[in-house]
Amino acid sequence: MEAGFRAEPDGALAAEATEQASTFSDLYERHVDRVFSYVFTRIGDRAEAEDVTARVFLQALTHLPGYRDRGLPLSSWLFRIAHNLVANWHRERARRQAALGELLRQELDRAAERFEALSRHESVVQLRAALEALPRERQRLIALKFAEGLPNAEIGRLMGRSEGAIKALLHRTVATLRRALGTMDDALA
């Protein structure tokens, strides 16, 4: 027996500790190193193991009045408490990691949405700049075709041209816009 430890068996100290809490410190000193070692090997983090070990002894002190000496060492009871608290620690850690993973996924989704909105905005700005670079007649053609949704024959009547001329002008205008937008994409890349 190490110096400073009382020689009484655990059961006697446990019974005495229910009447006099200061006796619990002898039980604590007797078992803390082994309980800590048990907890640390299952958790792997010293600070967390110290916290769980403290909770083992706090729970033991709280439930000591219900402890009955059944011929098994008190350490078996302490290790059962430690086992349960370690299992709880792992469950809670898994929940925290899952919650953290969910928060990270949500933040990545928000960042992707912001990026997409910015990309759409930049695309609109590029398209607007390309449209403004067109001659007025072609701007009107694009507005009548895509904003108003008019058929080529109606656009031709409004612009004083044949349906075939409108179709050819529309084709050339869309090709011009594609080239302008492609040049802008290349300049941004």
Q: Report domain extents, the chain.
A: 10-100, 133-188
pLDDT of residue 37: 94
Side-chain half-sphere exposure of 64, counting CA atoms within 13 A = 26
Radius of gyration over alpha carbons of the chain, in Å? 39
**pLDDT, tens digit, for every residue of 30-88?**
889 999 999 999 999 999 999 999 999 899 888 877 777 677 777 888 999 999 999 99
Tell me the per-residue pLDDT of 149-189, one tens digit each, with 9 for 90 and over. 899 999 999 999 999 999 999 999 999 988 888 865 554 44
Looking at the structure, give the CATH architecture of the domain made up of residues 133-188: Orthogonal Bundle (1.10)
Please tell me the predicted confidence (pLDDT) of residue 151.
Answer: 93
Question: What is the per-residue pLDDT across 105-159, written as a single tens digit (0 to 9) for each?
Answer: 888 888 888 888 878 888 888 888 888 899 999 989 998 998 888 999 999 999 9
pLDDT of residue 9: 54
Angle between helices 46-63 and 74-132 (to 10 degrees): 130
pLDDT interval class at 22 (50, 70, 90): low
Residue 75, pLDDT score: 82
pLDDT at 91: 92
**CA-based nearest residue to 83, from 58, 52, 54, 46:** 52
**Amino acid letter, residue 157:** R
Q: What is the dihedral of CA 90, 37, 83, 45, to 10 degrees?
A: -10
Q: In the Cβ-directed half-sphere of 189, how many Cα atoms lie within 13 Å?
A: 6
Residue type, 178: R
Burial of 144 (0-12, 13-18, 19+ CB in 10 A): buried
Neighbours of 17 (CB within 10 A): 23
CATH 1.10.1740.10 for domain 10-100, yes or no, is yes
Query: Lowest-pLDDT range, 13-17, 52-56, 82-86, 90-94?
Result: 13-17
